[in-house]
Each structure stands twice: as structure tokens, then as C-alpha cells.
Structure 1
Amino acid sequence: MISQTTKLKVDPRDGKLAMAHFYVAFIALALGGLMGLLQTLVRSGKFELPWGIDYYQILTVHGVLMGLVLTTFFIMGFQYAAISRTAGTHSPAARRIGWIGFWVMTVGTIMAATMVLLKEASVLYTFYAPLKAHWIFYLGLTFVVVGSWLDGAAQIMTYARWRKENPGKPSPLLSFMAIINTVMWIVATLGVASTVLFQLLPWSLGLVDTVDVLVSRTLFWYFGHPLVYFWLLPAYMCWYAIIPKIIGGKIFSDSLARLSFILFLLFSIPVGFHHQLTEPGIDPAWKFLQVVLTFMVIIPSLMTAFSLFATFERYGRSKGATGLFGWFKVLPWKDARFTVPFIGMASFIPAGAGGIINASNQMNQVVHNTIWVTGHFHLTAATSVVLTFFGISYWLVPHLTGRKLTKAMNKLAIIQGWVWFIGMAFMSGAMHFQGLLGGPRRSAFSTYGDSAQALEWIPYQIAQAVGGSILFLGIILILIIFINLAFFAPKGEEEFPVGEAENSEEKAPMIFENWKLWLGITALLIIFAYTIPFIDMIQNAPPGSEGFKTWGSW
């Protein structure tokens, strides 16, 4: 009997569901990208929004579509396909649950987007109280989360079936990574689901008069920081397990890759307070603890960098490269499947350095709530992550649609990657510099006034508009490529590349598959980091009324 792990192609039935996710993701990219362009033009001071459109309305559309819709749909589609490729075709029951999850997410997205477009939910992508949205917006977000849980359940079912059929064997690396990310997402979204269901939705419906803002913000950031790793880990999946196959090399270490993902699961969730370092009501000792836990995430990031560059160097040496950086020259720079994700990898070096600054108590005081933070997010999510997603789509979309990545599309894809990098260098770079000068985030140009400091920001805002315009050109290019690969490219077979470990005799320790252990440690870390602070928040809520309180000053 041929092992299911030897399947070279995703089952067409699974491919249809994965492509359905990608269609929604790229529609979100088109609309969200347009809103991002309009934002940069408004902040330049040279453009006014037409037809009574509000700046914070387009800011909300951009954040929700790019930060939540694009990422969630793409990731779920990619992971669904990756598990089908490595752990075997999904069962009819798993596929049915996956489709239900997709449609629940899609309906929720439409509900939330409709309220934003009707100016009933201009609450930004963080939707902090005391900003209030229409209850349909909150219900729509709930549907998106619940739908993603169903999507995740379908993936877990197939993984569990593989484990049952292959007792005592480590699961395929890509499947293991996908399940780690899914589990992390489910645990993290419990926070945002709690604040929406038990605070914001009843408040919006008029069932309660007020909400405790600190509790709602804390529950959001319990979710908000692992959200960043939910974006990032699929990129790591590509870097660890797919890029080695594309370049013709081997995975440096299967076990090292699994260990790094386990560490991300443990240390990505109980660290939300480092987004709340300037907020009252949280004891500094607990902030310090979570800052320490935040820095622990640097360890698997450095492990990833070591593994990747070890893979590149060993490949280069096998091709006769000599010297310290000789391997760099022999990498397949003319292959968009490698080059575009590599640009994302390289961008993560300054992005990671910026993250260390954001998480550091003293340095955070300088950049907190400035547009520096926005620039940081655009380096991490909108460059490292999104460029890797684009690189994945260049081979995965034709693989799922039975088409080929042509030389013309490959060349255009490389151009698109460099256009994106140049646009982001302008926009994110200008955001970082303006942030160091105190430029606020989430603000339109008209709110700055004509102070000397505001005038000092103008060159950086114009640079952001230039960068935003270049990035929008990059969005047009990726949409052209996606449509071609989905509908018009020549019929053929495109590889779903999955790498093999360099040491074929290496067997990952089965302790990595001990979910009771890792989920238990995760739960203990969360309880340890949040229980006493939550008790303090509730017992020492601001005076004014019984039950939930609104902090008007926020």
C-alpha cells in the first residue's frame, strides 16, 4: 500500500475549497489595498476624500480587510491544502466542515464590511471601546472567528486520522506546523471572542450601558499579539519546509523546525501586556513578566534564521561555492518562488529589530502610539508575511487549478516582488522616521494642525504617499498574476514542493506530538500571566457604576 504522504498533488476536491479561500483573500487585497492608497494620499495633505467618505472609515476597511480577512482566508486555504498534500486527502466529513467554516467566515466578512461601508463601524481594526460599532459588525466578526474554528477543525480531523493510521511515527512536518498554528489561533481567539460576545455585542445591543475598557483591551491583546504569529508561522512553514525543495537543497533539521514551532505556541500568547505598557490599571510587575516572555520568542526566530541560512550555505557549497558568502551567488534568483519569499525573509531582519524596540519598556515609551508602530506592522505583516504569501501563490494556485507558472508570469512575479519592496522601503521607512519625530498613528493630515512639528512631518508623509502609490502598483501586478494563474495560464502540472530533511535517518522525537504536554504548559503560562492581573482589573475598576465601567478618558 502506498503511503498517503507520497501524494504529490492535492486532491481536486480539496483544491476547490483552498481556492475558494484564495478568491476571498485576493478580493480583500484589492479593496484593502485601495483603501491603503487613499490613506497615504490623505496624509500627504495633497488629497481630500470624495463623496463624503470619512478617513477613519477607510482606515477601518484597510485594517480589517488586510489584517484579518486577507490573512485568515489565505492561511486557512494554504494550510488546508498543505495538510491534504502531506497527510492525505481530507475525508468527506472534514471537507464538509471546511466548507461550512468557509461560508460562515464569508458571511461574517460581508456583515462586518457592510457596517463599515455604511459608516456604522468606523472603529479601526482594533475596535477598541469606547468606540462603538453597530451590533451587526460585532456579530460578523464573531462569525469570522467561529468559521475559522470550523476550518481549523477540518484540518485537525485529517491530522488526527493520520496519527491514528501511523502510530508511533512523527507526523509530516508541514502538517505538524499547520496544526500548531491552528491550535495557537483557536487558543488566542478565545480572547477576542470573549470580549465581543460578553462585552461589546451586549453593549452595542443596549443590553448593558457600559463596558470595562481595560478588560476589553486586555482581552483584545491576549489575541492581538498571537495574531502576529498566526500571520508569520505560515511564512515560516514556507521558509522551513518548501524553500529548501525549491532551491534543490534539504531541510537543515526536521526536529529543529518542530521545536521552534512548539516554542512559538508556548510564548506567543501570554505576552499581550507588552502592547499595554503605557496603560494604567496593570501592575508594572506583570508588565515586566510579559515583556520577558515576549523576548523569549526571539529564540525560535533566531533558530529559524540559523536553520534557513544553514540550508542556503549547504546548498551553495554543494554547487561549488566558496568563501564566506559565495553560496549567495548560486541561489536561484530567477525563480520567483524563491526570490519573492527571500525578499520577505530579508525584510524580517529590520522588522524583528523593530519588534524588540516595541517590546522594550523604556524604548516603547518613545514610539508608543506613533506611526513608527504602523511602519513596523508594514515591515512584518505587509512585507515579510505578504511577500511570502505571494511567493506561495505563484506555485500553489496553478497547482490547485491544473495550470503552469509560465516564464512570463515568473518574470512579472519577480518584478512585482521588487516593486513591493521599493514601495515599502519608501512608505515604512518614512513611517519609522516620522514616528521617531512623534508623528501619531491613526490620524489624518487635517488633525495635525499647522504647528512647527506638524510641518516637520510633511516630507515623510509625502514619502508615504509615494510608497503607497508604488505598493498599489504592486497590488495590480499580483492581481494580474493571480487571475492569470487561476483562469488563463496554460494547462499543466505545477509542483507542490515539499522538502526533505538533510539527515534522512533523523526521526523527530515523539514528545513533539504530545499535545497534552504542550497544551498543558500553554494553559499554565496563560493562567500564570493573566489570572491575578484580571482579578485586579475587576476588583479595582474605576468608580462610577456597578458592573462594567466605561473609561470616558480613553
Structure 2
Amino acid sequence: MAHIYVAFIALFLGGTAGLLQVLVRSGHFELPFGIGYYQVLTVHGVLLGLILTTFFIYGFQIAAVSRTSGTLSNKQRLLGWIGFWIMTAGTAMAAAMVLLNEASVLYTFYAPLQAHWIYYLGLTLVIVGSWIGGLAQAMRWIQWRKENPKQTSPLLSFMVVCNNLMWFVATLGVAAEVLFQLLPWSLGLVERVDILLSRTLFWYFGHALVYFWLLPAYMVWYTIIPKIIGGKIFSDSLARLAFILFVLFSIPVGVHHQLTEPGIDPSWKYVQVVLTMMVSIPSLLTAFSMFATFELAGRSKGAKGLFGWLKKLPWGDARFFAPFMGMLIFIPAGAGGIVNASNQMNQLIHNTIWVTGHFHLTVATTVILTFFGAAYWLVPHLRGRVFTKELNRLGIIQTIVWVVGMAIMSSSMHIEGLLGAPRRSAFSDYGGAEIAKTWASYQVAQAVGGTLLFIGIIIFLYIFVKLCWFAPKGEEEFPIAEISPQAEKTPAILENFKVWLVILAALILIAYTFPIYDIIQNAPLGSKGYKLW
């Protein structure tokens, strides 16, 4: 709950910053008190993209491991608290610098934009704290394996370990960027840094970050939703295979965010685009598994005909409805991702607000709606409260408000991006009244959609507060589905992380060794005559 409290404080503050952003972009609102647009943009990106997600994911994963692999030991619990407080201290440090306008560098913190060294140190502490907290979760799973030799480990705990493994390997890139480049540079210890190297290290981490957000949503889809709809998990093996494939193909793909950058050889861009497209395989496996689960559950309740099972799904249950809408919206979100990662199509939309629209369909709809749906049972379960019919009705309304608001905002972003509007830019930076006028109607639409999303945040936070302190006391189930009896036995190799780690290391070395070597070899000379690296 400590993690979840921080997550939803970040949701409120980051959502407020997002509302201010779309109002400013509409051209009909100016920020008061000398607040800068890029300051607000940084608050929005860091709090929602990094803090909300990481803290909620860790709160959910701690509960998931405890529920399926057993209560954490005192040592594991202590590690979890140490990780939490280090992450929280780092968040406070980074937030203070942004609020003081000493770190308006957006959540990607690209050089040559420079932030105060306390900002970089704060983000480093968030990462280090997450490593410690993730270790505690992994230790509980390892302990279960020792206590239950030759048995298949609980699926939900296995998924948590996969996600944390991917996160640890991915964050090595951004940790290296901050510790060896940005921190020394912001402290004045070095005069300049190699910008291309810093961006490459960031995107080694940055695309896997997307899957760090997504995989906990997949955990809910695979293991929780079947129980809520009265069904069973379609296939334990397929679920584990999907997660292993995400671990393998989520990290060596970051260069597809750098397709327009001249310092990376096109052949290596091609390799990483191919690896990026491989990620569609576990996503399609997941789509197949989920709709098979829905159909089997519906038919077990007497559904007839090709789509009769749809009527048997619990559309009036917010715990199902919110994640299901997230799944549905992941279809256009995934299609947009293929556009982003395709070399030719990327040339049209690169660094336009199309990318922002895509981003809001993935993390700000698919992921966050699933997190909202999970909160509707997880929070009352942890707090000893009941998710009442009244709160459930509000949850349905909140989901509808969110989907409508995002449909308006994201659609206008996609269209505006196709017309060439840049991402990350304030209305006043568009370079001429005529250009700004071309996009004006889309920006007003974004303001309308963003306002609806903020209303959705307020409704959700009202539900959250009620579930924490004011809902009737009682017991709320932690719904974990059973494996279908018709499912095949899970092969032992899917739990053999030694094999998958070797393959992962090989893929990373193939994808990154030569590009990074080239970047360092061809770096410009610094004022003192040595390479900037």
C-alpha cells in the first residue's frame, strides 16, 4: 500500500500537469506564476511515465508474490522497505529540482539539455531502489523453488521475476548514462558528453521501459481476468512463453527510436527493426490466449453461435470492464507501434505529436486502465474493505469517461502528427500564425479530451480514497485463476533462466556492441584532444 499511495499521489500531480499542458497547447490559456511549459511537461512525463508506473507495479508485484509464493520473510520485507524509501527519496530529489525549474529536461532528459545534478542523482536512486525491491521479490520466488523442487512455480510469481529481470538488465543502460556521463557533466567534472552515446544508452533502456509497464497489465490479463469472468487460464505454457519472448526481444530494440540519427550505421538499425517486429509475436500469443479464455468461459455458461460468448462476459463489473477496454485499445496502439518502428513510415511521423498520441494509447490507456481495474480489487483486499455496487458503478463511468477522453485527445494527436506538428512543443513555439492556425482545431480537441481525462482521474481518486478508508469493512478476494485442466504440462525449460539469460546476452551483444563501438570510435575530439565518451 505504501507503494500504491505514492503512485496515486503521482497520478494526481502528473495528471494536473497534463491538463495544464493541453490547455496551453490550445492557445487559449497561459500558465500563471511564471511556470514554464517545459517545466510542466517534465512534471507530467516523469511523474506519470516513471513514478506512477514503477511504484504501482512494485506494489502490485509484492502483493502478487506474497499471495502466490508465500509471505515474505523478515529479510525480504526489510529489503522491500529499503528499496521503497530509496525510491521515494530519489523521487523527492528529482521532483524538487523540476519544481525549482532546475530540471526542465523532459522525461527523456536528452543532452545537451542539462539538469541540476540532484535531479540526475534522484533518478539514479529511483533505479537503485527498484533493484533492491525487485531483489526481495525474486528471493521469495527462489525460496519457493527450493521448498518445492521439481514443481512448476506459481505463474504469477514467475511473471513477476521475468518483469524484474527485464527491468534490471534494461536499467543498466540508463544507469551507465547517468553515472558516467550526465552526473559528471552536470557537476562540472567533464566539459562535454557524447550526445549520441547518451541517447543510445537511454533508448537501450527506454523501449524496455514500455514493456516494464505492459507486462504487469499482461499479468492481470492472464491470471486475474479469467477468475473474474468465471473461467480458467487457457494455457500456462503459452503465458510463460510470451513472457520469456518479451524478456528476449524488449531490450535489443532501442535503436528503432533513433532511425533518423546519422551516427548509427543503417545495417544495425535494420537488425534492431527486425528484432522490434519480433515483439509482435508474444502480443499476438496474448491476444489469442485471452480471446480463447473469453470464449471458453462464455461457452461453459451456455453461449451459442459464433459470438454468443460475448454476451456472457461480465460487462457490468469494473474489474473486468476497465482492463478489457485497455485490451481493445491495444489493437490500434499496437498498429501505431508498428508504424513507429518501420523505417520508411517512421520518416513521416518521427518526432511529431503522432508519437505522443501512440504513447497515450499504450501506457495511458491500455496499461493505466488495467491498473485501475486491478486497484478495484487489490486496494480493498489489502485494506480490508469491500468494492461496493456504488463504487463499481462509478468505476464503469470512470472507464467510459477515460475511453471517450482518450479517443478525442489521441485521435487528434495522430492526425495532427500526420500534418507535421512537432511533439513536446508549446503553442508559442510553432513558428508563425499560419502554421499554428492549421493545427488549432486539433489542439482544442486535445484540450477537450485532456479535460475529460482529468475528470477521469478525479473520479478514480475518489473511488481510491473510498476503498482505502470509507468503504464498508469486509473481505475482498484476491482473484487468481486456476489453470485449465485441458492445458498441456508446462515444459521445465521455460523456467530455466540460465538458458534464456545466455540468449538475452547474445542478442544484446549482437544488437549493441558494434553500434556503441562505432559511436565511441567516431566521437568528436574534446577541447583537450581526447575522445568524448
TM-score normalised by the chain length of structure 1: 0.95
Shift in alpha-carbon separation, 1:548–1:147, aligned structure 2, 3 A: farther
Shift in alpha-carbon separation, 1:314–1:504, aligned structure 2, 3 A: closer
RMSD: 1.0
Task: Determine whether 1:476 maps to 2:458.
Answer: yes
| Structure 2 residue corresponding to 1:203, chosen from 162, 185, 188 | 185
Q: Residue 115 of structure 2 aligns with which residue?
A: 133
Gap runs ≥5 in structure 1 = 1-18
Q: Residue 487 of structure 1 aligns with which residue?
A: 469
| Structure 2 residue corresponding to 1:298, chosen from 280, 284, 299 | 280
| Structure 2 residue corresponding to 1:245, chosen from 207, 227, 230 | 227
Aligned partner of residue 210 in structure 1, secondary structure: coil
**Distance (whole Å) between structure 2 residues aligned to residue 87 and residue 437 of structure 1:** 51
Q: Which amino acid aligns with 2:163?
A: N
More deviation in 503-512 or 375-384?
503-512
- How far the C-alpha of 1:83 sits from its partner, in A, is 0.3
| Structure 2 residue corresponding to 1:265, chosen from 211, 228, 247 | 247
| Structure 2 residue corresponding to 1:149, chosen from 100, 108, 131 | 131
Instruction: List per-residue Cα deviations over 1:313-340 (Å, max 9, x = no partner).
Output: 1111112212221111110001110001
- How far the C-alpha of 1:541 sits from its partner, in A, is 1.0
| Pairing 1:529-548 to 2, within 5 Å after superposition | 529-545=511-527, 546-547=529-530
| Pairing 1:64-83 to 2, within 5 Å after superposition | 64-83=46-65
Aligned partner of residue 362 in structure 2, secondary structure: helix
**Distance (whole Å) between structure 2 residues aligned to residue 549 and residue 85 of structure 1:** 49
Task: Determine whether 1:173 maps to 2:155.
Answer: yes
Aligned partner of residue 222 in structure 2, secondary structure: helix
Given that 1:316 and 1:326 are in contact with CA atoms closer than 8 Å, whether structure 2 keeps it comes out as yes
Q: Residue 422 of structure 1 aligns with which residue?
A: 404
Gap runs ≥5 in structure 2 = none
Q: Which amino acid aligns with 1:349?
A: I
Q: Residue 16 of structure 1 aligns with which residue?
A: none
Given that 2:42 and 2:105 are in contact with CA atoms closer than 8 Å, whether structure 1 keeps it comes out as yes
Instruction: List per-residue Cα deviations over 1:123-170 (Å, max 9, x = no partner).
Output: 000000000000000000000000000110000110010000011111
Aligned partner of residue 134 in structure 2, secondary structure: helix
**Distance (whole Å) between structure 1 residues aligned to residue 257 and residue 441 of structure 2:** 29
Instruction: List per-residue Cα deviations over 1:282-321 (Å, max 9, x = no partner).
Output: 0000000000000000000000000000000111111221
Given that 1:211 and 1:548 are in contact with CA atoms closer than 8 Å, whether structure 2 keeps it comes out as no
Shift in alpha-carbon separation, 1:492–1:281, aligned structure 2, 3 A: same
**Distance (whole Å) between structure 1 residues aligned to residue 29 and residue 401 of structure 2:** 23
**Distance (whole Å) between structure 1 residues aligned to residue 66 and residue 468 of structure 2:** 19
Q: Which amino acid aligns with 2:200?
A: T
Q: Residue 350 of structure 2 aligns with which residue?
A: 368
Q: Residue 11 of structure 1 aligns with which residue?
A: none
Task: Determine whether 1:408 maps to 2:396.
Answer: no
- How far the C-alpha of 1:454 sits from its partner, in A, is 2.4
Moved runs in structure 1, 4+ residues, more than 6 A?
none
**Distance (whole Å) between structure 2 residues aligned to residue 324 and residue 372 of structure 1:** 36
- How far the C-alpha of 1:507 sits from its partner, in A, is 2.6
Shift in alpha-carbon separation, 1:146–1:418, aligned structure 2, 3 A: same
Q: Which amino acid aligns with 2:502?
A: G
Q: Residue 29 of structure 2 aligns with which residue?
A: 47
TM-score normalised by the chain length of structure 2: 0.99
Q: Which amino acid aligns with 1:468?
A: G
**Distance (whole Å) between structure 2 residues aligned to residue 221 and residue 443 of structure 1:** 21
- How far the C-alpha of 1:513 sits from its partner, in A, is 1.2
Q: Which amino acid aligns with 1:210?
A: R
**Distance (whole Å) between structure 1 residues aligned to residue 77 and residue 229 of structure 2:** 32
- How far the C-alpha of 1:503 sits from its partner, in A, is 2.2
Task: Determine whether 1:287 maps to 2:269.
Answer: yes
**Distance (whole Å) between structure 2 residues aligned to residue 417 and residue 171 of structure 1:** 34
Q: Residue 109 of structure 1 aligns with which residue?
A: 91
Q: Number of aligned pairs?
A: 532
Shift in alpha-carbon separation, 1:488–1:293, aligned structure 2, 3 A: same
Q: Residue 87 of structure 1 aligns with which residue?
A: 69
**Distance (whole Å) between structure 1 residues aligned to residue 154 and residue 310 of structure 2:** 29
- How far the C-alpha of 1:548 sits from its partner, in A, is 5.4
Task: Determine whether 1:445 maps to 2:427.
Answer: yes
Given that 1:253 and 1:503 are in contact with CA atoms closer than 8 Å, whether structure 2 keeps it comes out as no
Q: Residue 7 of structure 1 aligns with which residue?
A: none
**Distance (whole Å) between structure 2 residues aligned to residue 504 and residue 432 of structure 1:** 43
Q: Residue 314 of structure 2 aligns with which residue?
A: 332
- How far the C-alpha of 1:452 sits from its partner, in A, is 3.0
- How far the C-alpha of 1:508 sits from its partner, in A, is 1.2
- How far the C-alpha of 1:174 sits from its partner, in A, is 0.2
| Pairing 1:312-323 to 2, within 5 Å after superposition | 312-323=294-305
Q: Which amino acid aligns with 1:404?
A: V
**Distance (whole Å) between structure 2 residues aligned to residue 119 and residue 20 of structure 1:** 28
Q: Residue 9 of structure 1 aligns with which residue?
A: none
Task: Determine whether 1:163 maps to 2:145.
Answer: yes
**Distance (whole Å) between structure 2 residues aligned to residue 82 and residue 401 of structure 1:** 15
Aligned partner of residue 207 in structure 2, secondary structure: helix
Shift in alpha-carbon separation, 1:377–1:548, aligned structure 2, 3 A: farther
**Distance (whole Å) between structure 1 residues aligned to residue 78 and residue 495 of structure 2:** 26
Q: Which amino acid aligns with 1:483?
A: V
**Distance (whole Å) between structure 1 residues aligned to residue 469 and residue 216 of structure 2:** 25
**Distance (whole Å) between structure 2 residues aligned to residue 214 and residue 505 of structure 1:** 48
